Amino acid sequence: MKRIFILSVVCAVALCLVAVSVPAQTKKEAFKYEDKIGVVKIKKGDPIHLACWMVVAGPDASLGTDTKRGVELAIEDKGGKILGFAVKLSVQDTGCNAEGGQAAATKLAADPTIVAAIGSNCSSEAKPGAPILWKAGIATVSPSNTAPFLTDPKRGPEYDGYLRTAHNDKVQGAVAAEYAFKQLKVKKAATIHDGSPYAEQLQAVFAETFKKLGGTVTAQEAVAPTDTDMRPVLTKIATGKPEIIYYPIFIAAGGHVTRQAKEVKGLEKTKLMSADGTFSPDFIKAAGDTAVGMYHSSPDFSAFGAGYKTFLEKHQKKYGEKPIAPFHAHGYDAAMIVFAAIEKVGKVAPDGTLHIGRKALRDALYATKNLKGLTGNLTCGETGDCADPMIAIYQMTAENVKKQVIPDKPIWSPAVAAPAKKK
């Protein structure tokens, strides 16, 4: 009996051990996703929330509308989903000024559901806005900020969450100066800016390059974006007898400069050149017939990738018109960079919740390499410059002004001019 009892006890103990050990062997580890800054958790059935902060109202609205449409078409090309989750796009107007950028960024930063932002448009908006977003852990990719300081190595850690698919104006200013000096053969130039980081730095690069090439800069004047009477500044500029005026400002002020320049004695034959900030049908409306013959520096549409043609067809079908500003493709590419980064770092838990680490997403954005975009192959540098920068020069024709459409083919670009020099 003792032997039977002992055997029974041994069997019972063994069965208990088995009962305890089986769950330990088959139990799955709990889902774990950590991030130093924070994790956005999106429940199954909820959307991935992306935000645009762009100028979609006022005289410069065409710039923001143009880039927003690029983002919308990018979302459509992804089937409206990332990692099986629908994409929600919200928009905050920025006004193309520092106050608007700060206000828009503050609103976005207060919304913990926002995964990433696309914007801003004007560099003056990004200067105060990008640090506010990054303090909240929201990375942003701009399709049209071009001021050099935004990606300068000395910009400070508050801009660590900032990137752009737009070119750096160190490129645009140099191309504009090269065209003026080498192609137009002018030796004397003047510039006008409006105090914004974009305009001030762009004209500075133009002036510096123009002088290095052997030209003379007769004046570097400033106006306010709200000024309507440009005659005092233009009259002052006329005393230096410049052969060209480069004014990389925005639509409203740019229209006034263009209309009034030919009214000032001594400037009747002076060539006029603006930049991408006025490269819009709205500027043509503002300047009227006085825009005929003037020049613009802007992204080189002719150098965009093969997919750009298809993009234009979709754009026409969806919006019933051609793009209305230069950075629609850059908006598309900014969205695609964000999509790729989300796909890289997003993880779905067993309960269907999508987890996206904020620092992980930022790091994935910066790690972008050779992404084939509409504007070229995108590779992000250590301070956020991702563009394959190609700038060209365009000239407004009477036909452009009559139909109120911007030129879609450049008259000159360094990329086209280079081979000719080798012959």
147/81 same-domain check: yes
The pLDDT of residue 417 = 54
Lookup: tokens for 237: 């500029």
43/106 same-domain check: yes
Instruction: Specify if 48 maps to a domain.
Output: yes
262/147 same-domain check: no
* Number of structural domains found in the chain: 2
DSSP per residue, 207-223: HHHHHHTT-EEEEEEE-
Instruction: Specify if 29 maps to a domain.
Output: no
The pLDDT of residue 60 = 96
Is a pLDDT exceeding 90 seen at residue 171?
A: yes
The arithmetic mean of pLDDT across residues 382-395, rounded, is 96
373/254 same-domain check: no
327/221 same-domain check: no
The pLDDT of residue 230 = 98
User: Between the CA atoms of 261, 265, 268 and 272, what dihedral angle is there, to the nearest 10 degrees?
Assistant: -30
Instruction: Specify if 403 maps to a domain.
Output: yes
The pLDDT of residue 3 = 45
Instruction: Specify if 20 maps to a domain.
Output: no
Note whether 67 and 327 are within 8 A (CB). yes
Is a pLDDT exceeding 80 seen at residue 139?
A: yes
The pLDDT of residue 415 = 72
Instruction: Specify if 100 maps to a domain.
Output: yes
Is a pLDDT exceeding 50 seen at residue 221?
A: yes
Q: Measure the CA–CA gap between 148 and 307, rounded to whole angstroms.
A: 28
227/250 same-domain check: yes
- Predicted structure pTM score: 0.90
SS (H, E, C) 7-53: HHHHHHHHHHHHHHHHHHHHCCCCCCCCCCCCEEEECCCCCEEEEEE
- pLDDT band for position 28 (cuts 50, 70, 90): low
CATH code of 99's domain: 3.40.50.2300
65/155 same-domain check: yes
Structural domain range at position 278? 170-301+391-414
- pLDDT band for position 18 (cuts 50, 70, 90): very low
The arithmetic mean of pLDDT across residues 292-314, rounded, is 96
Instruction: Specify if 117 maps to a domain.
Output: yes
Is a pLDDT exceeding 70 seen at residue 167?
A: yes
Q: Measure the CA–CA gap between 143 and 7, rounded to whole angstroms.
A: 78
Q: What is the pLDDT of residues 232-245, one digit of tens each?
A: 999 999 999 999 99
Note whether 389 and 174 are within 8 A (CB). no
179/282 same-domain check: yes
Q: Measure the CA–CA gap between 29 and 15, rounded to whole angstroms.
A: 25
282/374 same-domain check: no
Largest CA distance in the chain: 126
161/175 same-domain check: no
Q: Measure the CA–CA gap between 121 and 126, rounded to whole angstroms.
A: 8
Is a pLDDT exceeding 90 seen at residue 421?
A: no
- pLDDT band for position 103 (cuts 50, 70, 90): very high
287/180 same-domain check: yes
Instruction: Specify if 31 maps to a domain.
Output: no
> What integer best gives the mean pLDDT of the chain?
92
156 contact partners, CB below 8 Å, separation of at least 6: none
Instruction: Specify if 7 maps to a domain.
Output: no
Q: What is the pLDDT of residues 245-302, one digit of tens each?
A: 999 999 999 999 999 999 999 999 999 999 999 999 999 999 999 999 999 999 999 9
The arithmetic mean of pLDDT across residues 16-21, rounded, is 42
90/180 same-domain check: no
Q: What is the pLDDT of residues 336-388, one digit of tens each?
A: 999 999 999 999 999 999 999 999 999 999 999 999 999 999 999 999 999 98
Is a pLDDT exceeding 50 seen at residue 422?
A: no
